[in-house]
Amino acid sequence: MAEQEYDYDLFVIGAGSGGVRASRIAASHGARVAVAEEYRVGGTCVIRGCVPKKLLVYGSHFAEELQDAANYGWTVGDLKFDWPTLRDAVLKDVDRLNAAYTTTLENNKVERFLERAEVTGPHSVRLASGREVTAKYILVAVGAWPVTPSFEGAEHCITSNEVFHLPELPRRVVISGAGYIAMEFAGIFNALGCHVTVVNRSETLLRGYDESLRDRLLQITMARGIEYKFNSPFDKVVKREDGCLEAHLAGKPDPLVCDLILVATGRKPKTPGLGLETAGVELGENGEIKVDDTGKTTCDSIYAVGDVTDRVQLTPVAIREGHAFADRVFGGKETTISYDCIPSAVFSQPPLAGVGLTESQARNAFGSNIKVFSSDFRPMKNIFGHRPERGLYKMIVDAGTDRVLGIHMIGPEAPEILQAAAIAVKAGLTKADFDATVALHPSMAEELVLMR
């Protein structure tokens, strides 16, 4: 088929962060672009993920802030929380963002199909309406989907997709899993006055984060009233006549009685039913699309970016991958992506964040040739709140070169502080560079340049 016979230069399946960025940049290079999205423009992060979840985190923080207000001289009346007000405000902002992403595509003359699309060949896509279109290149950016459980009664549970639409605030919540999604919602529900129990198959929460921070978060959240059941896989869930749920755990004689069970046990690339096999696109064991360093699949005309590749499931990574793809294929720029020193955060309560190697990772890589600096302190913010919770910052350093290998922290505003610190780690700065920087006082961030 001659190039001019294609309907589009680029057809994107999925209008999330990565797909929208790729569409916009490709169009700016003069490409004829179309994108298909079966739900809403914006993707997981904007519609049912990190953005609305962060707004819920902000809303839940007021429970603590209002309690502290009296100690700062404020007279606060009877405190009352209304879940529908917060829920509807969050969903209204989701509507705003959906419209903003849609406008971005419109302004860049990207044609939109608000329906499902499936690959039918190396250069062809079939829409749910039955229309088949062709494109020189196809980009798959459909993201990932919550892993659903297979135990008896799983239909009575919800995932993070549905949690933003709850008709009312549950009194008792059981959360399955102990990853970042589980810990963030555990903090939200706990702060809003729910009784929260976190149930995990293993004995580890937030796998991949620094062990000291994980231990500190466990201590603090237990003190705040969150209960944990480790090494406790689900056996079954039973819905009682009164509407309550019973979570039966393997090896436990008594079930957990609750009003809501949230399953947060990970996310899986959303590739089933995409028809990728018709174009010879190879998938991995988890259903992820296998790609090379440029995002190209095993079919030369089909690329993939974002969570569907299961490399790094983070929105900023998907955006960079989508941008780099468009620059390479349509802009003639040899743009590369570095997956080294990607900062990440968990908006738990308190939040934690990290960049670079953890202490255990550094010891595995460098043996005893590392230095670990730390600051264990009580944030000034907690003093009038009469909370004994302490923050913890850690810096991992290569003893031979003095280069900072990683920074990890837990405490108020840790993610905001880490973003700037991540630049220093990415740039390969040394501990001496931090030591030579004058502290900004009084702040929590100054602890980064005071560790000795």
- pLDDT tens readout for residues 261-280: 999 999 999 999 999 999 99
* Pairing assessment for the beta strands 260-263 and 267-269 based on DSSP bridges: unpaired
Domain with CATH 3.30.390.30 in the chain: 350-449
State what percent of residues in the chain have pLDDT above 70. Answer: 99
Which residues, in sequence order, are bridge partners of residue 406? Answer: 356, 396
> Average pLDDT over the chain, rounded to whole?
95
Q: What is the pLDDT of residue 2?
A: 44
CATH number for the domain formed by residue range(s) 350-449: 3.30.390.30
CA distance 26 to 43: 19
Q: Kindly list the distances between the CA atom of residue 191 and the CA atoms of 151, 181, 254, 281, 288, in Å, as whole numbers in the listed order.
A: 29, 16, 26, 45, 36
Confidence tier at 385 by pLDDT (50, 70, 90)? confident
Q: What is the pLDDT of residue 197?
A: 98
* pLDDT for 77 beyond 90: no
In this prediction, residues 399-407 reach a mean pLDDT of: 98
CATH number for the domain formed by residue range(s) 154-265: 3.50.50.60
Say if CB 198 and CB 207 are below 8 A apart. Answer: no
Check 123, 195, 248, 441 and give the catalytic one.
441
Q: Which residue, chain included where needed, has tokens 């809303």?
A: 59
What's the DSSP call for residue 255?
Answer: P
Half-sphere exposure of 422 (CA within 13 A, CB side): 17
Q: Which residues contact 125 (CB under 8 A, 6 or more apart)?
A: 11, 13, 36, 117, 118, 119, 132, 133, 134, 135, 138
In this prediction, residues 412-426 reach a mean pLDDT of: 96
Would you state the structure tokens that stand for residue 357, as one six-digit string?
């190697």
Q: What is the pLDDT of residue 1?
A: 42
Q: How many CB atoms sit inside 10 A of residue 440's CB? A: 11
**Bond preceding residue 343 cis, omega within 30 of 0:** no
- Which tens digit of pLDDT belongs to each residue from 325-361? 999 999 999 888 899 999 999 999 999 999 999 999 9
Q: What is the pLDDT of residue 4?
A: 63
Q: What is the pLDDT of residue 178?
A: 97
Q: Which residue, chain included where needed, has tokens 């250069």?
A: 123
- Which tens digit of pLDDT belongs to each residue from 130-159? 999 999 999 999 999 999 889 999 999 999
pTM strictly above 0.85? yes
Q: What is the pLDDT of residue 3?
A: 52
Closest C-alpha to 418, from 404, 408, 427: 408
Confidence tier at 284 by pLDDT (50, 70, 90)? very high
Taking the mean position of all CA atoms in its chain, how far away is CA 273?
Answer: 24
In this prediction, residues 403-417 reach a mean pLDDT of: 97
Burial of 357 (0-12, 13-18, 19+ CB in 10 A): buried
Q: Roughly what angle, to the nearest 10 degrees, separates helices 315-331 and 17-28?
A: 20
Domain with CATH 3.50.50.60 in the chain: 3-146+268-331, 154-265
Say if CB 313 and CB 291 are below 8 A apart. Answer: no
CA distance 402 to 384: 38
Q: Is 441 a catalytic residue?
A: yes
φ, ψ for residue 47 (rounded to 5)? -90, -40
CA distance 118 to 391: 49
Query: Three-state SS for 281?
Result: coil
Closest C-alpha to 299, from 105, 120, 71: 120
Q: What is the pLDDT of residue 384?
A: 87
Taking the mean position of all CA atoms in its chain, how far away is CA 267?
Answer: 10
Q: Which fold has domain 3-146+268-331?
A: FAD/NAD(P)-binding domain (3.50.50)
Beta strands in 141-293 (DSSP E): 144-146, 172-176, 195-199, 227-229, 234-239, 245-249, 256-258, 260-263, 267-269
Query: Three-state SS for 128?
Result: coil
* pLDDT for 405 beyond 70: yes
Say if CB 1 and CB 122 are below 8 A apart. Answer: no
CA distance 400 to 382: 38
* pLDDT for 319 beyond 60: yes
CA distance 137 to 300: 9
Q: Which residues contact 12 (CB under 8 A, 6 or more apart)?
A: 19, 22, 23, 33, 34, 35, 36, 138, 139, 141
CA distance 435 to 129: 62
In this prediction, residues 53-71 reach a mean pLDDT of: 94
CA distance 372 to 362: 10
- Which tens digit of pLDDT belongs to each residue from 298-312? 999 999 999 999 999
